[in-house]
Amino acid sequence: MARTGLETLRSAARADPVNEPVAHEVLRRPDGTLIHCAGGSSMCVAGKALVVAELTRTTTGQEPLADGVLVTVPSRYLLAFHPITDGRAVNAVNDLTAYGLGAHQDSPGALSPRIPAGAGNGHRRRARTSGPALGRAVFRPGA
């Protein structure tokens, strides 16, 4: 590491998920909420969650806002996200929870149906699926 330097290693590690090709589809929910789905045949598609700001730029053509991006990574081959731009974020949490749970149960390479919110360089869990409302989010700010 000392020979190549930490920044060189970080750049190389970041290049893999940035360069991973994905198909992009936009789901428009009845209330107008947009859910962006990215998928591919490589089990490395899930790595796009680590560079979700770049994924947002390349798929939507817009910079992610300071409020961040909601993302679910139900399998190695799929992820779905919603840039937080307006008051539809709570609806997006519910939609992403249902999508994440269904894809988690149905897809090979299942990972997690949880939804972290990312802003800056970190991700924080924002919703949990639980009890009889399985497939709906229990939204607890700061969770």
The tens place of each residue's pLDDT in the chain, 143 residues long, gives: 567 788 888 888 778 788 888 999 999 999 999 999 999 998 888 888 888 899 999 999 988 888 889 998 888 888 999 999 888 888 998 899 888 888 777 766 666 655 555 444 454 444 444 444 444 444 444 44
Domain assignment of residue 40, yes or no: yes
Determine, yes or no, domain membership for 90.
Answer: yes
pLDDT of res. 39: 93
Q: Is residue 55 situated within a structural domain?
A: yes
CA distances in angstroms from 118 to 4, 35, 51, 54, 107, listed in the order given: 29, 16, 10, 12, 24
pLDDT number for residue 8: 87
Q: Report if residue 96 sits inside a domain.
A: yes
Count of CB atoms situated within 10 Å of the CB of 45: 23
Could you list the residue range(s) of the whole structural domain that residue 24 is in? 6-139
pTM: 0.72
1 part of a folded domain: no
Question: Distance between terminal CA atoms of the chain?
Answer: 36
Domain count, the chain: 1
Which residue type, as a one-letter code, is found at position 121?
N
Residue 85 domain flag: yes
Q: How far apart are CA 78 and CA 72, in angstroms?
A: 9
Whether the Cβ atoms of residue 136 and residue 96 lie closer than 8 Å to each other: no
pLDDT of residue 83: 92
Q: What does the alpha-carbon distance between residue 37 and residue 79 come to, in Å, rounded to a whole number? A: 6
